[in-house]
């Protein structure tokens, strides 16, 4: 074999090796669990927004590019400063759970890109938090209004993210921090209101008890009036005679004491 043939064979082998290596890295790929792929066609109009590739083995032409997206749920935590309705600065810790819409990642990549968590989710959550919290006073933020605030932020964020091909799972307010002076003033006010409510409850209870006693006394008085009107001396004398007759008919031995008064009845004592 002459030098020319050797050189030609070596060149062909080198080209074949480079081509195989290139095809191995660019043409064959595996999409892992939790991922979806969207294809960028260099000579076919760019991103194919309609076709989404699922996990598994795929063959891609070397001049095209498969772009992978993690479509599993993500959590983004952030601390931000917002203003209450009175202009007071409030520090809020927000946790957002979301994931891209798996069947829309072509549109997501075409319009926003892989940094959608920072470019879209963060800005939308900040904007919604400032708008919703700005409607509440510090006292409301400190009290049981937190769940209403969370729901308000969540609803606004959900609608905005859906427009950008992102699904919101939940928004959680991990903490709402007020300035120490404002927090102490609110706590003092709450204590005073609680003491006032307890005092008013006690007063109302005492008033009800007084009314109950009054009603009870009026009932007793009415009962006594009825009884005194219905029981005469003749009635009492008759009941005494009946009792004496029942005792006299008893087989037990007894002692009879005659009453000394004008209308006194005998008292019969038995064993």
Sign of CA dihedral 226, 232, 233, 236: negative
47-83 residue pLDDT tens: 888 889 999 988 888 888 899 999 999 999 888 888 7
Per-residue exposure over 119-155, b if at least 16 CB sit within 10 Å of its own CB, e if not: ebbbebbbebbeebbeebebbbbbeebeeebbebbbe
Confidence at residue 231, expressed as pLDDT on a 0 to 100 scale: 64
Domain residue spans in the chain?
A: 3-70, 74-178, 182-230, 233-270
List CB contacts of 241: < 8 A, sequence separation 6 or more: 265
> What's residue 5's pLDDT?
72
Q: What is the CATH number of domain 74-178?
A: 3.30.479.30
Q: How many CB atoms lie within 10 A of CB 157?
A: 25
pLDDT of residue 45: 83
Residue 174 in tokens: 């991990």
All residue ranges of the chain with pLDDT < 70 are 1-3, 6-7, 16-26, 142-144, 179-196, 198-199, 223-224, 227-236, 238-240, 243, 247-271
Query: pLDDT of 5-32, one tens digit each?
Result: 766 777 777 776 666 655 555 578 888 9
Q: Rounded to whole angstroms, how far apart are CA atoms 70 and 105?
A: 10
42 burial (CB, 10 Å; 0-12 / 13-18 / 19+) is exposed
Question: What are the angstrom distances between the C-alpha of 184 and each of 146, 179, 191?
Answer: 18, 9, 11
Other Cβ atoms less than 10 A from the Cβ of 171: the count is: 23
Q: What is the CA radius of gyration of the chain?
A: 47
Q: What's the pLDDT score for residue 233? A: 66
Residue 91: count other Cβ atoms within 10 Å of its Cβ: 13
HEC string for the chain? CCHHHHHHHHHHHHHHHHHHHHHHHHCEEEECCCEEEEEEECCCCEECCCCCECCEEEECCCCCEEEEEECCCEEEEEEEEEECCCCCEEEEEEEEEEEECHHHHHHHHHHCCCCHHHHHHHHHHHHHHHHHHCCCCHHHHHCCCHHHHHHHHHHHHHHHHHCCCEEEEEEEEEEEECCHHHHHHHHHHHHHHHHHHHHHHHHHHHHHHHHHHHHHHHHHHHHHHHHHHHCCHHHHHHHHHHHHHHHHCCCCCEEEECCCCCCCCCEEEEC
What pLDDT does 120 receive? 92
What pLDDT score does 146 carry?
77
The pLDDT value recorded for residue 166 is 95
């Amino acid at each position: 074999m002459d030098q020319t043939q050797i050189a030609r064979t070596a060149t062909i082998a080198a080209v074949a090796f480079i081509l195989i290596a290139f095809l191995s890295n660019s043409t064959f790929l595996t999409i892992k669990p939790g991922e979806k792929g969207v294809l960028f066609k260099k000579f076919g109009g760019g991103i194919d927004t309609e076709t989404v590739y699922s996990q598994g083995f795929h063959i891609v032409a070397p001049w095209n590019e498969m772009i992978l997206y993690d479509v599993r749920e993500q959590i983004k935590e952030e601390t931000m400063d917002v203003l209450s309705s009175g202009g007071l600065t409030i520090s809020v810790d927000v946790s957002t759970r979301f994931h891209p819409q798996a069947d829309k990642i072509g549109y997501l990549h075409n319009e926003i890109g892989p940094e959608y968590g920072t470019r879209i989710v963060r800005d939308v959550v900040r904007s919604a938090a400032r708008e919703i919290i700005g409607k509440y006073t510090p006292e409301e933020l400190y009290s049981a209004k937190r769940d209403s605030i969370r729901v308000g932020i969540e609803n606004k964020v959900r609608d905005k993210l859906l427009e950008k091909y992102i699904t919101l799972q939940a928004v959680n307010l991990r903490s709402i921090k007020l300035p120490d002076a404002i927090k102490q003033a609110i706590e003092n006010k709450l204590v005073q209101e609680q003491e006032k409510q307890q005092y008013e409850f006690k007063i109302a209870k005492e008033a009800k008890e007084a009314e109950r006693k009054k009603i009870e006394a009026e009932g007793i008085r009415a009962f006594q009036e009825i009884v005194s009107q219905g029981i005469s001396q003749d009635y009492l004398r008759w009941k005494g005679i009946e009792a004496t007759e029942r005792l006299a008919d008893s087989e037990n031995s007894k002692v009879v004491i005659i009453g000394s008064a004008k209308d006194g009845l005998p008292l019969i004592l038995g064993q």
